[in-house]
Chains A and B, each alone.
Chain A
């Protein structure tokens, strides 16, 4: 299996350090009060960058067969379909759920 990508220890540490740093950033941005929708956007954006780092370089999608990346993207697309269609209902109800 000589074809497998082997990351150097230094490279793995760089990715982990970036993830630690972004964790610090995502906590730090809550200290300055960013107005409403943008604090959520910021938090999600940082989480997406972190997830992408893990997917690409820890889970090796960057070097892997593109088919596995396609599977992952498909799952995210279906997740968005789930949220999208659900919100089309729940956002436009006159009376939200009555008892719970």
Chain B
């Protein structure tokens, strides 16, 4: 008897008093996340605009400078990020089905893939720093015969750097979700943080889907 009461209570205890029910609370949170994602798109939009303006001014610079980027590792990172999007989608599915173990495992794989992405990015950056490809006026590399070569790499560092910061924040959010899931907070009626972090993670994936061909594949 008392068991059923707690199960019933558990279904509604996450619902805050100013919402009609859990469904309304869920939809409201998701709407709020979409509004945030809109600001994220416009945030990155400014950088894409800079990319487009400079590419229209110096198209030959982009094809020359892009040869310094390693297509192989760019492709690997794309596959790693798409894989992590899949595991996030799987994590949400597990939560919807009340499979908390599956949720935690999928989050672990996602964190692992996100870290893989950052490690590859680290080696890419480290190699460039070593040969003097630094942003802006710190640029000392001689290998590209174009006086504006530093501009391409300033844009490269801004776009991939901001994206990398988003990946790191994503890793932090996933760890937070694992902690919550281990405390047994999520169940099929309440998994809003998983859903919303998932939306964020998929957007980070989409940004990379555009960054990859625009930066790595133009040579």
Contacts and interface: CB of A to CB of B under 8 A. Distances in A.
Say whether A associates with B.
yes
Interface in B63-90: 71, 75, 78-79, 82-83, 85-86, 88-90
A27 B199 contact: no
Given A78-B42, A82-B45, 11 more contacts: A1-B189, A6-B97, A9-B93, A12-B90, A19-B85, A23-B75, A59-B198, A65-B27, A71-B34, A71-B37, A87-B53
Interface string B182-200: 0000001100000000110
Interface string B32-76: 001101100110011011001100110000000000000100010
B38 A72 contact: yes
What's the interface size class on B, roughly? Answer: 35 or more
B131 interface: no
B178 interface: no
Interface stretch (B107-115, B161-169, B202-210): B202-210
- In the complex, the 10 A-B pairs of residues with the closest C-beta atoms, listed nearest first: A43-B213, A16-B86, A75-B38, A79-B45, A75-B41, A68-B34, A19-B82, A51-B206, A6-B96, A90-B53
Contacts of B189: 1
A68 B209 contact: no
A85 to B, nearest CB: 10
A9 to B, nearest CB: 7
B214 interface: yes
Nearest to B83: A16
Interface of B: 22-23, 26-27, 30-31, 34-35, 37-38, 41-42, 45-46, 48-49, 52-53, 56-57, 71, 75, 78-79, 82-83, 85-86, 88-90, 93, 96-97, 151, 188-189, 198-199, 202-203, 205-206, 209-210, 212-214, 217-219
Interface residues of A, number: 48
A18 B199 CA distance: 19
B52 A1 contact: no
Nearest to B211: A47
Nearest to A64: B30
A20 B89 CA distance: 16
B45 A12 contact: no
B188 A1 contact: yes
A96 to B, nearest CB: 5
Given A6-B97, A16-B83, A23-B78, A74 B213 contact: no
